[in-house]
Amino acid sequence: MTGTAEASRDRSAVFAGRIDILYALGRHYLSLPFAALCIPATMFAGHPPGWLPLMPLLIQIAVVISAEQLTTAYKNRDRRDDPRFWAWRYTFVSAIAGASWGVGVMFWFMPESFPAQAYLVLAFLGMTATEFIARSAYRPAYMVHALFSLGPLALKLLLVGGLYQSLTAILVVLFGGVLFTYCKGMGRLLDESIFLKLENVGLVKRLCREKTELEEARDALQQSSRVKTNFIANISHELRTPLNALLGMTQLLDRAELDKPHRDHVKVMLEAGKGLQMLLDDVIALSRDGTDEIVGEDSDPVLAARAVGRLLQPRAWEKRLRLTVTVQGNLPHVAIDGRRLRQALLKLVDNALKFTERGGVEIRAEAERDAVRFSVIDTGMGVPKEAAAMLFKPFTLGDATYARRQQGMGIGLAVVKRIIDGAGGEIGFESAPGEGTTVWFSVPLSGAKEAPPPGGERLPADSAVPPSKQNFLVFTREPKNDEQIASVLESFGNHVQIAASLSDAVAKSVRTPFNAVIVSARDADNWAAVPGAAAPLLALVGRGERAPATASEVLRWPAAPQDLFQVLHTLHERTNRQEEPEVDTEPEELAPIDAVAFASLEKSVGLSALLSILQSYIENAELLCNALTEACASEKWDDASRLAQDIAGAAGGLGLIAVTTAARGFTQKSRSGGSESELRDAAQSVVCEQQRARKALGSLYPDLAA
C-alpha cells in the first residue's frame, strides 16, 4: 500500500509539473501576427473592404487578454489547488482560442481564389505549429485548439471541391494529426525531466535534513566534550589538593628520625603517592581535547633534553643506571611549546628507567632535513612482538606481568603520541626482546609549518583584528613572501605596494605615507638608515637570522595571518596617529572581506566552526553563481533576481562586502527594468566578486584552499 501511495503521489507531482510548463510556455500573443497577415491577403484577393475581416482579429485579441489573465491567476493560485482544475481551465481557453480561428475562416476564406486559400492554409498551419510548442505539455489543450481551428478550414476546402482543395484539406488534417502524435513523445520527455527535477529536490531536502541532524549531533558531542573537560578540571582540583597535602606530610615524615620499619612504611607511602600523582596527570592529559592553551610554538631542543636529564638523574642513580644526554650543537628551534616537549621527553625517559634493570638510558637529539629527531634508548627487556601494535594505545600494557609489577596503566606513551601528533610530528619505536628499546619522535623546525594544524587555536580574535584601509610597503626580496603578504592584507581593503629594490622602496616612501614598512631582517638596518624613514618598521626574521635592533617589531617568518595581524595591530596602537594617511591612488574596489565582522565571528563561534561555515558557504555560493549565469543565459530574469538575493543574503551574513554589494546591485537593476546587457554585466560582476572573495578566504584561512 505504501508503494502504491508513493507512486500515486509521484504521478500527481509529475502532472502538476506538466501544468506548470503549460502555463509557463504559453505565449498566446504569438498567433496575432498570423491573423493580422490574413486580413490584407483577404482584401487583396477581392473581398470588399469593410470592418468584417477585422472581427476575427478583435475576437482573438480578447482571447489573448483572457489567457494572460488566466496565467496571472495561475501564478497567484493556492498551491493546494488541484492541478486538474487549472488544466481544464486552460483547455477551455484553448478551445475558445481555436474557435476564434474557426470564426476567421468564415470571414477570410475566398471560395473563388485558390491562391488566397493556400495563403490562408499556410497562415493557419504556422499558427498551429506555434501553439503546439506550449500546448504539447497537455494533449487535450492542443487537441481542442487544433480541432476548432483547423477543422473549419479543412471543411471549407472540401465543400469548395476540386483536386487541389481536397488535397490541401487532407494536408491540413494530416499536419494537425502529426503534431498531435508528437504531443505524446514530448509529454514523455517532459515527464522524465520533471521526475528528475523532483528527485533532485528530494535529494537536496534529504541532504539538508541530514546535514542539520549531523550538526545537531556535532553540537551535542561538543557539549558533551565540554562537560567532560569541566568534569576533569574539577575532579583534578579536588584530587590534587588532598594528594599534595598527603605527599607533603609524607615527605616530612621521610625526613624525620624514625625507626627503620617505620621509615620503610613511609617510603612505600611516598612512592605510592608519587605514582598516583603521575597517573592523575596522565589521565588529565589524555582526557584533554587539545584545545587547552599553548604558551608558545617555539622551543630549544638542547635545553629541553638537558633539563629532562637533570630532572631524572637522581632517579637513575637510585637504580644505579647511567643516564646520558647526547645532542648536536646549535640545533635549530622546533615548532612545539617547550613545556609540551619536556613533558613528552619526561614520559619517555621515565618509562625507560622504569623498565630498565641494568645498563643505562640515553637521550639523543639530532637534526634532520626539516625536523629534529629525539630518541630515548634503553637497555631494558624490550617490547614483545605481540605488544608492538598496542604500544601507543591508551590503557594497554606491553607485558602484563612485568608492567603490572611496575605499577603502570599503559597511558604514558598514549599521552606522548597525542602531544607529538598535535605538534605535527611523528613517533615510533625500534625494539627486540632482550635487546632494549629505542622510542623516537620528530618535531618540525620552527617556521616549517606555514599554517597551524586544522582545528587548532590561533591567537585570540580580539587581539588579531586584521587592519583595514591602511597603506603598507613590502620589501622582502622574496616574490613568494611579497605576494603572500599582499594577498592577505589586500583582502581587507588595504593598499599594498611591493618594492623590487631598496631604491624603489625609498622612492615609493617619498610619494606615499605608509602605516608600516615590512622588510626582511637583513634589510632592516639599511632601511632604518634611510633619511626621512618615519614609518614603523616590521622585520621578518627567518630561521637562523638574528632580530635587528632597529626594527619596531619583529615577526618570525613564515607565520600565520593572525600573527601578522597581531604585530601590525601592535604597531598601529604604538604609533597612535591622529590622522590616518590618505591613499594617493585611484579609488579602490570594495574590500572582499569585512575585517571586524570576521574577527567577531571567529571569536563567537570558534575557528573550527567558522571553517565549516565558510566551506559550506563556498560550495553553496559556487552553485548559486552557476545557476545565476545559466538563468541570465536563458533570460530568466526573475529567477536570476531571486538567486542574486540568495547570494546577497549568504554573503552579507559573513561580512563579504563586495559580493553582497554586487548581488544587491543586480537585484536593483532587475527591479528597475535594466536592459539585458546591464543585467548580464551585473551578473558577471557578482561572479567575479565571488571569485575574489574565495581567493581572499583562501589566503586568510589556508585550510579552505586545500
Q: Where are the domains of the chain?
A: 2-201, 228-286, 301-444, 461-572, 595-705
Q: If pLDDT is split at 50, 70 and 90, which confidence band does 428 have? A: confident
Q: If pLDDT is split at 50, 70 and 90, which confidence band does 375 have? A: very high
pLDDT, mean of residues 585-596: 56
Work out the angle between the directed axes of helices 301-318 and 338-354 (0-180°, nearest 10). Answer: 30
Q: If pLDDT is split at 50, 70 and 90, which confidence band does 385 have? A: low
Residue 589: its pLDDT value, please? 55
Report the CATH architecture of 595-705. Up-down Bundle (1.20)
pLDDT, mean of residues 434-455: 68
At the topology level, CATH places domain 461-572 in Rossmann fold (3.40.50)
pLDDT, mean of residues 175-194: 79
pLDDT, mean of residues 172-182: 83
**Average pLDDT, rounded, for the chain:** 75
Looking at mean pLDDT, say which of 188-197, 359-368, 395-404, 409-418 comes out highest. Answer: 359-368
Q: How many Cβ atoms are within 10 Å of 238's Cβ, its own excluded?
A: 10
- C-alpha neighbours within 13 Å on the C-beta side of residue 266: 17
C-alpha cell at 334: 622546533
Residue positions counted in the chain: 706
Q: Which of 655, 659, 657 is nearest to 644 (CA)?
A: 659
Indicate the residue type of 36.
A
Q: What is the pLDDT of residues 652-687, one digit of tens each?
A: 656 677 777 887 788 777 777 778 788 888 888 888
Domain 301-444, CATH: 3.30.565.10
Residue 321: its pLDDT value, please? 87
**Phi/psi-derived region of residue 449, left when phi > 0, alpha when psi is between -120 and 50, beta in every other case:** beta
Give the integer Cα–Cα distance in Å for 329 and 326.
10
- 138 within 8 A of 91, measured Cβ to Cβ: yes
Give yes or no for residue 533 having a pLDDT over 70.
no
Give yes or no for residue 493 having a pLDDT over 70.
yes
Residue-wise burial string across 120-147, b where 16 or more C-beta atoms lie within 10 A, e elsewhere:
bbebbbebbebbbebbbbbbebbbbbbb
Contacts for 615 with CB less than 8 Å, ≥ 6 apart:
704
Give the integer Cα–Cα distance in Å for 495 and 476.
17
Q: What sign does the CA torsion over 86, 88, 91, 96 have?
A: negative
pLDDT, mean of residues 538-554: 73
Give yes or no for residue 355 having a pLDDT over 80.
yes
DSSP 3-state of 371: strand
Give yes or no for residue 464 having a pLDDT over 70.
no
Question: Percent of the chain beyond pLDDT 90?
Answer: 2
- Higher local confidence (pLDDT), 2 or 699: 699
At the topology level, CATH places domain 228-286 in Helix Hairpins (1.10.287)
DSSP 3-state of 444: strand
Please report which helix (H) or strand (E) contains residue 496, including its range: strand 495-498
Q: Which contacts of 424-427 are long-range, i.e. CB under 8 A and separated by 24 or more positions?
A: 424/335, 424/449, 424/453, 425/336, 425/371, 427/392
